[in-house]
Amino acid sequence: MKKEGSTRFLDGSLETVQWFVFLLASAVALPIVIGSIFELNFNEVAGLMQRTFFVVGIASFLQGVFGHRLPIMEGPAGLWISIFAVMAYSGAQSGDSYMETLQVLQGTMIWAGIFLFLFGIFRLSHRVLFVFTPLVTGAFLFLLTVQLSGTFLKGMLGLQQSTEAVDGKQALVAFVTLALVIGLSIMGTGWLKSFAVLIGIAFGWVLYAMTFNGTASEIGGTSAFSLPEFFAWGPPHLTWGTLPLGFITAVILLSNLVASIIAVSHTVYGKPKYTYDQVNKGSSFLGVNHGITAAFSAVANVSLASSSGFMQLTGQKRKRPFLYASLLLVVFSFFPPVVAFISGIPAPVANAALLATFVQLMGLGLSNMTSETLDERRLTILGLSFLLGIGLMFLPPEAFNGVPAIVQNLLSNGLLVGTVLVIVLDRLWKESNTSS
């Protein structure tokens, strides 16, 4: 009995560590991206990293305990990254400083949070469920993986910030990590299969350190303990001009929330299994989390469907290790030297591990789309939506310079356009009722 208890404790501890590493890997890259966009200095990026870890941990825990109550990581939303990038460009064109633009973005996140909270409180969120047919859910997951695959691949190849040429050594380390994670998840058994992501990242990190002579990150001039800064970018600017953008973003994030709940419940239970109450509470706490994120000057979070890919890859479906990992991330965020160390996971290694989880997510999307016969109607809807949605992903933000800010934010996001097209066409183009 003692041996069984110690084995369960060891497995639970390792599951917690692996969830913790997944949370880190999913959150560590975006503060660097935002720092590059808004020309933040090293200490400002370090502070943003600390606040991001804190907010991700708090948001994930709140959703897991009080919201939708599923083991779904709350991470910086790709949609918000797009909005940050577009508003940085449009703000600079209007003569606003980057800090003024960041304060407006804080206000926009608060607007979106208010709408999401109200959708949940007044039980409106679940009313969008009828549009999420397997075709729509599968198309969303497919477009999501396509949109983020470019980001992951750039990180794996060492194409970051001002770097324009592929770094062969970084690419080699990244692809060795990717092959190890996928290989263990497919051919490994027991312990090796369950902790494929953790083993892959640990091996990749060591290999990277050996290849690059142990380069490490460090944050200078900071204390051993500090709390995340409140309104680090200054007070939020709630303007009426950003209210419509906040509403539209809330609706899109609601569709993201529903797709994530469907994907993860499918992974946990073998089929989509959730209640209207889960969706509404998930929406309410997504709104609360937006408010928390704005208060701590970070990028607003959303329930990440990639959690489903992580669980399929590792076979870990228990919620308790996920909750422990979320709290562990919060605690670690209070110690800047620790933040410096754990954020030192090499970008090629972190991106390789994330790409491995997205392989499973892509598979889930394809499985959803093919669960119904792909007749001429469905193939036309998917083909048109994918061509336009993926095509927009290749256009730079300045391509829409001169159009209203709201339209600019919408058209610059291929995931949004593609998903909306699938939903609209699936609703308007009714299936023929002819029977064979």
Q: Where are the domains of the chain?
A: 10-428
Give Cα separations from 252 to 185, 286, 410 (angstroms).
Answer: 33, 12, 10
3-class DSSP state of 75 = strand
- Smallest CA-to-CA distance from 17 within 177, 197, 264 is with 197
pLDDT on residue 148: 77
pLDDT on residue 409: 66
pLDDT on residue 7: 60
- Print burial letters for 361-374: b (CB count within 10 Å at least 16), e (below 16): bbebbeebbeeeee
Cβ-proximal residues to 283 (8 Å cutoff; 6+ apart), any chain: 116, 117, 119, 120, 125, 254, 257
pLDDT on residue 64: 94
Cα–Cα distance for residue pair 156/163, rounded to 1 Å = 13
Q: Which residues of the chain have pLDDT under 50?
A: 216, 218-219, 434-436
Q: Where are the extended beta strands (E) located within 252-385? A: 301-303
3-class DSSP state of 374 = coil
Chain position carrying tokens 């598979």? 363
The 10s digit of each residue's pLDDT in 318-360 is 899 999 999 999 999 999 888 877 767 787 888 888 788 778 7
